[in-house]
Every structure is written in C-alpha cells, then in structure tokens.
Amino acid sequence: MKKITLLLTLPWLLVAGYTAHISPITPEIKSRMLRGHSWHRGCPVPLANLRYLRMTYRGFDGRDHSGEMVVHANVANEVTQIFGELYRNKYPIRKMELVSNYNANDHASIEADNTSAFNCRAVTGGTKWSNHSYGTAIDINPLENPYVSRSGHIAHKASLLYRKRAHIGSHPRSVIVRGDAIVRTFKRRGWRWGGDWRSVKDYQHFDKPGAQRGRIPQTRDTKHSIKRNSKPSSYVIKPGETLYQIAKKFGVPANNIIQNNPEITDPSKIRVGQRIQLPE
C-alpha cells in the first residue's frame, strides 16, 4: 500500500535523473539580471514576483544537463512539471540559460539556440510589453522552431531549413509540429502555442497570458523542489478502477479527464496499465 501511495503522490520520482528546484531571486541572480539587462527598474513585474528554476533536461547529445530559467511565481510549479514531462518523453533541448548571459539580446540568444523565458522586452515588432516581460512565456529550441513574419521572413540563417514544418534535420524531435506531445503538454495547462497563430508563426513560443495576476505563492525556503507538489499530472489505471472512480479520487470532473486524453473514445473501456493525463 505504501508503494501505491508513493506512485500516486510523487510520480516524478519515476523519471530517473530529473530534478527541479524553485527559489526566489537571490542577490546573486538579481546581480546577474541587472548586469545582463534582462530586468531593470520600470519592468512590469517586480523581482519579488519572479522565481529562479534549476531543471534537468535532455541535451542534443543525449545526456542530462542542468538548465536555468526565470519565470513568474504563478507558473513556476507547472513549468517544472512541464519540463519533467519533456524529460520523460526524451524531448531534446540544446541549451537552457538565462537570457542575461546574452546581455538580454534576444537575437543573440536565438543564435545560440537557447531555451529561455523571462526577458523584460517589448513584443517582436511592437512597443507593448511581451509576455516574456512577465515571466509567463517560454521560447524552446528557437533555431529549429523559428519566428516567421507575416511576409514569411525568417531572421536566422540556420532556421531556413525549418521553414517547412516537419521532423527533419540532425535532431528531428526538437522540431515542434502541430499535434506533438510537447504542444499537448503545454496546452493541458492552459498555455498557448505560437504555431497556432494566424498572421505570424512563432513555433518556439509558448505563453500563458494573464498568469501574472492574482496572489503570489510564497516560497518557504530558498530551494523549492518539484517533489513538494501533492497532485500528480498523470496516473496509471489500476485493476478494477473506472474512469469515474479516478475522477472522484482526484476531485476532478470526469469530462475534463476525457478532454485531456483524446485517445479515450469510450469511458467504459479504459484498460489496466494505461497512463492518463490529469487536469490541473
């Protein structure tokens, strides 16, 4: 029974090698962000509302690496969950560093194929604050997943290969295509994908507009681990269980479970051992 309880409450422990920690912006990180110009006075979000993440990711070399990211406090927990799923699914990431390492130059960060989040800057081609300025947007493998303007222009030479959206190139799984698991992983938690936009396409971009509003969760210490979360993002069906029993167990509507798992066409015919994704 103890083993079953562990599986229900701490499923990320099954992802061998993945760790994620959340901390407030320490004086050291603040200094890096100021020197690197990713945050300055006048930005739309105070440093107190941001969180610094350390997360394991699977590199293009197939090995585990430790990456860093700054996001808004209101999305910090779910971002660690999302990247835990990406790690489990062996989604490759070339690099994960603070944009401060590139003097907050978005072009330079993209040229390095750097996966990043917070950067206090305007939207591309505009003057209003980008969702990156709130820490509620993430760009992933930007060379393989380029920004394409209304006219079809791509600013980075290395990205021209990826104008046609398909799993191609030396690391084909890094290319984000409609229907991919990475897109579903973000959308299950209410994030948008720039690949769905009509006038422009931003295949690297995921955001959660408005997530910066509301009460800021408090961090109890300077190193907050994903292991503190109490609700799993997925669940493996046990013998004798029905979908409605599972919904009651986790306090979520059965219809929401069905929406999160399009492969379930008949709720009465779920199978033992099947892994289902739970709604937030």
What pTM did the predictor assign?
0.73
In the numeric block, which tokens belong to residue 217? 């969760």
Distance CA 238, CA 244 (A): 13
> What count of other Cβ atoms lies within 10 Å of the Cβ of residue 145?
26
pLDDT at 16: 60
Task: State residue 56 phi and psi, 5-degree precision.
Answer: -80, 140
pLDDT at 275: 83
In the numeric block, which tokens belong to residue 9? 């409450």
- The single-letter DSSP state of residue 122 is B
Q: Which amino acid makes up residue 70?
A: V
Domains in the chain and their CATH numbers? 2-207 (no CATH), 233-277 (3.10.350.10)
Query: pLDDT tens digits for 221-272?
Result: 434 344 434 456 778 888 888 888 888 887 777 877 887 777 787 888 888 8
Q: Looking at beta carbons, which pairs linking 119-123 to residues 24 or more positions away fall under 8 Å? A: 119/38, 120/38, 120/39, 120/40, 120/43, 120/44, 120/45
Query: pLDDT tens digits for 154-199?
Result: 999 999 999 999 999 999 999 999 999 999 999 999 999 999 999 9
pLDDT at 279: 76
pLDDT at 4: 35
SS3 content of the chain, % helix, strand, coil (to 5): 35, 20, 50
Q: What is the mean pLDDT of residues 84-109?
A: 96
Q: What is the mean pLDDT of residues 36-58?
A: 96
- Residue 237 · residue 8 · CB < 8 Å: no
Which stretches of 197-275 are DSSP H helices? 243-250, 254-260
Please give the residue that has the higher pLDDT: either 14 or 114: 114
Range of lowest pLDDT (7-11, 31-35, 155-159, 168-172): 7-11
User: Shortest CA distance to 134 belongs to which of 205, 64, 47, 55?
Assistant: 47
> What count of other Cβ atoms lies within 10 Å of the Cβ of residue 264?
16
pLDDT at 265: 79
- The single-letter DSSP state of residue 76 is H
Res. 14 pLDDT band, cuts 50 70 90: very low
Please give the residue that has the higher pLDDT: either 232 or 116: 116
